[in-house]
């Protein structure tokens, strides 16, 4: 800083005038010492001048003084020293002193003027600091005069623009910024004395920079503008980064919004803006989409032009070229088609514009392509940027694919899980419901929330008999065991139970522990009903069949018995009648003999003997024919063809007829005990009841292997006739007892029994409104109780 700039400071500052003796003691001092150092004249007089000097400077001051004394220097010398004022503060003083010597050459005294230069010294210090800061600043700093000429600049400025100060001074016009920016700055400076904003700067080597510029005027105290100072920061890189970030941000946002290829137009628009912002110049920009699902692959292309639409590529050459470039996986740059045209595309590309350079950048589904009418149009940095863009496209297309797959699989899963055919329950191992199909609402009248809210809901809605089964199945699921066909009943909200067939599937976490138990339940109520109905139908069919067979048998037997009865009755009738006639004839003969030949009747007479033989013969013939008559009547009664008729019948007669029919099997082997009570005639189907009696009596006698007893007792018990047939036979094992009335069940072996007997009996008793009870003990015998209401329930006559 020039000294004249500070002259005003000196002019204003007072100075101390002092005189010392040879010992440097103050002998005289001006009043100003009071205002500058705080001491009164009286306090200073007599004290050594060096006492006022700062201890650090004292030695130097004394040494300089003594040196001057030794040389006998009488010139005015200027020294600087720091003085301490009365309060102890330091002041910079500039002292101009001159020594006086006596004639003998000895020092007689000194006089001097001391000026306080503290202020100026501080300013100088600051100035040095500022200069250092400016020089070291990374920001470019320049100082202009009022005409806009460069006065000074710092190294950062030179580095930024590449011009030396001399070159800048010599330049006629500002070459570092555009005329528009220069005007803008000048206008602002004139209006407000400052400028702040972004300007584009041009470097010496022609690069275009974005500069954050701040300029202000430096004025004198009088307000006169002396200089302009400008600070400039290069924002090119930051700007570029911002732009890069912004473009990619926009691209990604656009891509995120993409739901399908139709939205690609928006992406391309953003892409174009980005390319423009990056300063990448091109003729056409487009996307080639390859479809590899066909053979050979097909391709659709889309230009960035708005509303361009998709163009189905119909040239095998173009498809092959793009496919090949796509397979390479890295940018394929044809720098100049005039020099090298590997894909033979010059003719094709130059139909609309004289394309020279083309680059294809592969991404997941095809290539991003740019071309230009300039050869070698794209720099390495451009290619890096374009590759980055291709990467964003890859992720966008993959995302579309993922979305599509996800939507598909979710839809598939949802359709599956919410199908009406089954409901899905997910439970954690503690038994809390994690997921419940909404379908459960239709199924049970409960919402999934009901399940989420209450983990014990199952115990309330599962049939009490089935809770154990369901709980055990779940616990096995928690233990990792998958199960199928677990059947239990759930109660609907209305109270009706529904049959469920459940599959229990443990879902394992990565560590192998059961993470979730999945329960898939089918409503098998209808199935159950169907099975039950079909079982019932099957049983009825068997019963019907049995009845048919039985009634066929009975009809056949009836016919047979009728025929046999006729055949037997004829001779029996003849014998019976003839015997009667014979008895009568013999009676007449005897009467005649007794009347006419009384002596012949005396005992010992041969004629009397002969008559006795005739009488005995007649008795035997009578007994025999009576027996035959009874058998035939029983047989005929039993197989009576009037069974369709319901009528009053004597149960004892039926029992007797039946016993008669098993007589040949029981005589001399089984004792028959009849214990008949008082039973009124019962309205029934006698023929069919006889069937029941015969069946059970036959079973009883068959159960007795050697000898035993069959006791037939009858009683009236509370409006019912009880016919109890008890045998002392082998008995029925407990496990068979429940099945003896099942159609087709037989223990007699194929060929012995049809297995239909007891089921028919059961049916007959049901038709009568009665039933059959069986009690049995193996080794002790069986007791069958046939229960028949005395007044049968009013029902339609069955055949």
Binding residues for another protein, rule: CB under 8 A, are 558, 561-562, 565-578, 580-581, 584-585, 588, 625, 629, 636, 639-642
Looking at beta carbons only, is 467 or 628 nearer to another protein?
A: 628
Min dist. Cβ of residue 495 to another protein (A): 55
Find how far residue 289's CA is from the centre of its chain: 33
User: What are the residues whose beta carbons fall under 8 Å from the beta carbon of 62, sequence distance 6 or more?
Assistant: 50
Assign 3-class secondary structure to 179-217.
HHHHHHHHHHHHHHCEEEEEEEEECCCCCEEEEEEEEEE
Min dist. Cβ of residue 693 to another protein (A): 19
Min dist. Cβ of residue 564 to another protein (A): 9
Min dist. Cβ of residue 661 to another protein (A): 15
User: What are the residues whose beta carbons fall under 8 Å from the beta carbon of 111, sequence distance 6 or more?
Assistant: 17, 18, 19, 20, 97, 98, 100
Rounded-to-integer distance, Cα 489 and Cα 462, Å: 6
The number of beta carbons lying within 10 Å of the beta carbon of residue 322 is 24
Looking at beta carbons only, is 253 or 645 nearer to another protein?
A: 645
Q: Provide the 3-class DSSP secondary structure of residue 689.
A: helix
Assign 3-class secondary structure to 151-179.
EEECHHHHHHHCCCHHHHHHCCCCCCECH
Min dist. Cβ of residue 788 to another protein (A): 25
Looking at beta carbons only, is 653 or 679 nearer to another protein?
A: 653
Min dist. Cβ of residue 642 to another protein (A): 6
Looking at beta carbons only, is 330 or 645 nearer to another protein?
A: 645
Looking at beta carbons only, is 151 or 628 nearer to another protein?
A: 628
Min dist. Cβ of residue 575 to another protein (A): 8
B/e letters for 190-215, b = 16+ CB within 10 Å, e = fewer, are eeeeebeeebebbbeeeeebbbbbbb
Residue with structure tokens 């503290």?
118
How is the beta sheet containing 781-789 ordered, strand by strand? Answer: 670-675, 708-717, 720-727, 781-789, 771-777
Looking at beta carbons only, is 467 or 641 nearer to another protein?
A: 641
Alpha carbon separation from 634 to 140, 355, 505, 647 (Å, rounded): 142, 124, 69, 18
Tokens, residue 190: 């004139």
Question: Got the DSSP string for 715-781?
Answer: EEETTEEEEEEEE-S----HHHHTTTTSTT--SS-BTTB-S-HHHHHHHHHHHTT-EEEEEEETTTE
The sign one gets for the Cα dihedral 391, 397, 400, 404 is negative
Residues in the chain, total: 799
Looking at beta carbons only, is 283 or 637 nearer to another protein?
A: 637
Looking at beta carbons only, is 594 or 642 nearer to another protein?
A: 642
Looking at beta carbons only, is 94 or 622 nearer to another protein?
A: 622
Min dist. Cβ of residue 596 to another protein (A): 19
Min dist. Cβ of residue 568 to another protein (A): 7
Looking at beta carbons only, is 118 or 629 nearer to another protein?
A: 629
Min dist. Cβ of residue 578 to another protein (A): 4
Nearest CA to 594 among 604, 607, 610? 607
């Amino acid at each position: 800083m020039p000294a004249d700039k500070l002259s005003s400071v000196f002019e204003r500052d007072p100075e101390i005038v002092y005189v010392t003796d040879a010992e440097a003691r103050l002998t005289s001092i001006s009043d100003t010492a009071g205002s500058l150092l705080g001491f009164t004249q009286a306090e200073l007089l007599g004290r050594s001048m060096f006492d006022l000097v700062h201890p650090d400077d004292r030695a130097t001051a004394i040494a300089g003084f003594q040196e001057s004394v030794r040389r006998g220097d009488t010139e005015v010398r200027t020294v600087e020293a720091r003085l301490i004022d009365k309060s102890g503060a330091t002041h910079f003083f500039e002292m101009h002193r001159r020594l006086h010597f006596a004639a003998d050459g000895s020092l007689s005294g000194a006089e001097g003027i001391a000026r306080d230069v503290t202020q100026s010294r501080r300013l100088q210090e600051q100035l040095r600091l500022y200069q250092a800061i400016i020089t070291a600043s990374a920001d470019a700093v320049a100082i202009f005069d009022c005409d806009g000429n460069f006065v000074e600049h710092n190294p950062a400025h030179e580095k930024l623009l590449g011009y030396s100060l001399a070159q800048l001074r010599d330049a006629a016009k500002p070459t570092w910024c555009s005329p528009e920016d220069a005007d803008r700055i000048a206008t602002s400076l004139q209006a407000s004395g400052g400028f702040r904003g972004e300007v584009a700067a041009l470097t010496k080597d022609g690069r275009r920079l974005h500069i954050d510029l701040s300029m202000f005027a430096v004025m004198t105290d009088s307000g006169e503008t002396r200089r302009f100072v400008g600070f400039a920061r290069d924002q090119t890189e930051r700007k570029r980064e911002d732009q890069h970030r912004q473009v990619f941000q926009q691209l990604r946002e656009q891509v995120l919004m993409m739901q399908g290829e139709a939205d690609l137009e928006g992406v391309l628009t953003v892409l174009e803006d980005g390319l423009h912002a990056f300063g990448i110049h091109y003729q056409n920009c487009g996307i080639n989409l390859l479809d590899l699902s066909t053979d050979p692959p097909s391709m659709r292309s889309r230009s960035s032009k708005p509303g361009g639409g998709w163009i189905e590529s119909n040239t095998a050459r173009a498809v092959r070229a793009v496919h090949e470039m796509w397979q390479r996986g890295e940018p394929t740059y044809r720098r100049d088609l005039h020099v090298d045209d590997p894909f033979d595309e010059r003719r094709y590309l130059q139909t609309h514009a004289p394309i020279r350079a083309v680059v294809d950048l592969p991404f997941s589904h095809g290539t991003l392509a740019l071309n230009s009418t300039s050869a070698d149009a794209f720099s390495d940095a451009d290619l890096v940027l374009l590759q980055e863009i291709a990467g964003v496209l890859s992720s966008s297309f993959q995302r579309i694919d993922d979305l599509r797959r996800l939507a598909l699989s979710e839809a598939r899963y949802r359709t599956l899980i919410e199908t009406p055919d089954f409901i899905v329950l997910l439970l954690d191992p503690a038994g809390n419901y994690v997921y419940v199909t909404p379908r459960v609402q239709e199924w049970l009248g409960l919402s999934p929330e009901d399940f989420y809210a209450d983990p014990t809901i199952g115990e309330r809605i599962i049939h009490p008999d089935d809770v154990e089964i369901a709980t055990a199945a779940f616990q096995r699921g928690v233990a990792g065991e998958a199960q199928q066909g677990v059947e239990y009943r759930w109660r609907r909200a209305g109270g009706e139970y529904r049959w469920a067939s459940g599959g229990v599937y443990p879902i394992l976490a990565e560590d192998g522990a059961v993470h979730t138990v999945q329960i898939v339940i089918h409503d098998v109520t209808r199935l159950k009903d169907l099975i039950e109905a079909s079982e019932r139908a099957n049983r009825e069919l068997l019963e019907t069949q049995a009845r048919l067979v039985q009634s066929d048998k009975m009809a056949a037997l009836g016919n047979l018995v009728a025929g046999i009865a006729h055949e037997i009755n004829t001779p029996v009738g003849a014998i019976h009648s003839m015997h009667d006639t014979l008895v009568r004839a013999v009676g007449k003969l005897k009467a005649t003999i007794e009347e006419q030949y009384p002596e012949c009747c005396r005992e010992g007479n041969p004629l009397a003997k002969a008559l006795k033989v005739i009488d005995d013969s007649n008795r035997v013939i009578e007994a025999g024919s009576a027996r035959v008559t009874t058998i035939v009547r029983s047989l005929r009664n039993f197989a009576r063809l009037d069974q369709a008729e319901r009528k009053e019948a004597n149960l004892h007669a039926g029992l007797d007829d039946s016993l008669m029919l098993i007589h040949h099997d029981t005589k001399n082997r089984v004792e028959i005990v009849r214990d008949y009570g008082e039973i009124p005639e019962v309205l029934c189907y006698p023929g069919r009841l006889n069937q029941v009696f015969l069946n059970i009596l036959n079973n009883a006698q068959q159960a007795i292997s050697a000898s035993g007893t069959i006791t037939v007792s009858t009683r009236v018990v509370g409006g019912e006739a009880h016919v109890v047939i008890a045998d002392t036979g082998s008995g029925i094992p407990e496990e068979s007892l429940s099945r003896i009335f099942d159609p087709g069940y037989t223990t007699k072996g194929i060929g012995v029994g049809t297995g239909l007997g007891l089921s028919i009996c059961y049916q007959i008793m049901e038709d009568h409104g009665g039933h059959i009870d069986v009690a049995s003990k193996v080794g002790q015998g069986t007791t069958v109780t046939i229960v028949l209401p005395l007044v049968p329930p009013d029902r339609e006559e069955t055949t």
